[in-house]
Amino acid sequence: MSVPFLRVEALHVTYRVRRRLVEAVKGVSFTIHRGQCLGVVGESGSGKSSLARAVLGLEPEAAHGSVEWDGYALSAQNRRERLAFCRKAQMVFQDPMGSLNPRLKVGAALAEVLKVHGLVKTRKEAFRQAAQWLETVGLDAAYADRFPHELSGGQRQRVNLARALCVGAEFLIADEPVSALDVSVQAQILNLLQDLQRQRGITWMLIGHDLAVMRYLADHLLVMKNGEVVECAPAEQVFMHPAHPYTRELLASVPHVDRGLARRCAL
Ligand SMILES: Nc1ncnc2c1ncn2[C@@H]1O[C@H](COP(=O)(O)OP(=O)(O)OP(=O)(O)O)[C@@H](O)[C@H]1O
Ligand SMILES: [Mg+2]
């Protein structure tokens, strides 16, 4: 059996809020193999985002446990390895506006990222590559000349994806990437994520509430409740034979609109 792309063992995330301890993640373990999509579902406050941040090493104070990338412990990375890892593993958030600089045109923003990471030599090359990345995520290169506020929510989310991809992302954590978007646009973005997985072999962790969508996008599903994993199995198995009462409850509450969205994904 090949080494998993990501192996997480007994991961805990405990925040200190004044004198109180908040146990957001309580001993979570799972693996993801290269090119696969792990769906993470669970009610609000169940620890999904905390888990995601800990997996990327963004909670150094609060997180304890073992996270291994390609067989190497995240905690053992030196500075150079850490920088390389930051390029390879990226996060895409729910609010695409919040993660873009409002004062920079989209092309300039992407060009800057490419320059900061030393991926281009000249300004001209940076802008040329920026335009190409926009096309990769389904935007006309002319959008390079727009400010973030001159784009729709779905277009901004595409720019965010371009930004993650342009530095060589191999792993994406999408934390409710479509919840802030219109239902009609949600399907387009989810389709784009799936294309990226298939065409570029991107491995990803998709955090969301929409179980009907997860069924089509996720290879494995991890169901969280109160910081713990109640079920982790191939997605189809979870849907056909949910083992835990909580999962059955979640499945029973899939709203009608989500089924429509899954259909529109044309998967
Ligand atoms: N930085 C923090 N400091 C203190 N407590 C936090 C922090 N971040 C999250 N929490 C707490 O940890 C718990 C899990 O939060 P988290 O954001 O991981 O849940 P979630 O599953 O992502 O929820 P949602 O679906 O609403 O995004 C919650 O009780 C939350 O209040
Ligand atoms: Mg969250």
Q: Which ligand is nearest to the CA of 40?
A: 1
Read off the pLDDT of each residue in 116-142 and give the average, rounded to a whole number: 95
Give the H/E segment covering residue 141: none
145 pLDDT above the threshold of 50: yes
User: Ligand 1: which of 12, 22, 211, 214 to mutate, most ligand atoms within 8 Å of CB?
Assistant: 22
Find the length of the chain.
267
Per-residue confidence band for 258, with pLDDT thresholds at 50, 70 and 90: low
**Can you give the CATH number for the domain in which 221 is found?**
3.40.50.300
The reply to whether 16 falls in a domain is yes
**Which domain range does residue 88 map to?**
6-103+147-264
Per-residue confidence band for 257, with pLDDT thresholds at 50, 70 and 90: very low
Supply the DSSP symbol for 2.
P
pLDDT (0 to 100) of residue 178: 87
Distances (CA, A) of 63 to 8, 56, 242: 12, 11, 29
How many domains is the chain built from?
1
Residue 108 CA to chain centroid, in angstroms?
24
**Backbone conformation region of residue 18, classed left if phi is above 0, alpha if psi is from -120 to 50, else beta:** left
The residue whose CA has the least distance to atom 29 of ligand 1 is 45
Read off the pLDDT of each residue in 189-211 and give the average, rounded to a whole number: 90
Say which amino acid occupies 4. P
Per-residue confidence band for 262, with pLDDT thresholds at 50, 70 and 90: low
CA of 95 to the centre of ligand 1 (A): 16
The reply to whether 173 falls in a domain is yes
Q: Is the CB of 17 under 6 A from ligand 1?
A: yes
pLDDT (0 to 100) of residue 267: 44
Q: Is the CB of 24 under 6 A from ligand 1?
A: yes
Say which range, 33-37, 93-97, 178-182, 231-235, has the weakest mean pLDDT. 93-97
pLDDT (0 to 100) of residue 184: 84
100 pLDDT above the threshold of 60: yes
Read off the pLDDT of each residue in 193-221 and give the average, rounded to a whole number: 90
Q: Is the CB of 208 under 6 A from ligand 1?
A: no
218 pLDDT above the threshold of 70: yes
CA of 127 to the centre of ligand 2 (A): 34
Collapsed DSSP state (helix, strand, coil) of residue 154: helix
The reply to whether 228 falls in a domain is yes
5 pLDDT above the threshold of 60: yes
Q: What average pLDDT does the structure give for the chain? A: 90
Q: Beta strand 228-234 with 72-73: parallel, antiparallel or unpaired?
A: unpaired
250 pLDDT above the threshold of 90: no
The reply to whether 137 falls in a domain is no
- What is the model's pTM? 0.90
The reply to whether 119 falls in a domain is no
The residue whose CA has the least distance to atom 9 of ligand 1 is 50
pLDDT (0 to 100) of residue 260: 57
Percent of the chain with pLDDT over 70: 94
User: Ligand 1: which of 11, 13, 14, 15 to mutate, most ligand atoms within 8 Å of CB?
Assistant: 15
At 193, give phi and psi (nearest 5°): -60, -40
263 pLDDT above the threshold of 70: no
The reply to whether 45 falls in a domain is yes
98 pLDDT above the threshold of 80: no
CA of 143 to the centre of ligand 1 (A): 35
CA of 24 to the centre of ligand 1 (A): 6
Read off the pLDDT of each residue in 10-37 and give the average, rounded to a whole number: 96
User: Ligand 1: which of 12, 13, 19, 48 to mutate, most ligand atoms within 8 Å of CB?
Assistant: 48
The reply to whether 142 falls in a domain is no
pLDDT (0 to 100) of residue 202: 93
Residue 205 CA to chain centroid, in angstroms?
5
The reply to whether 127 falls in a domain is no
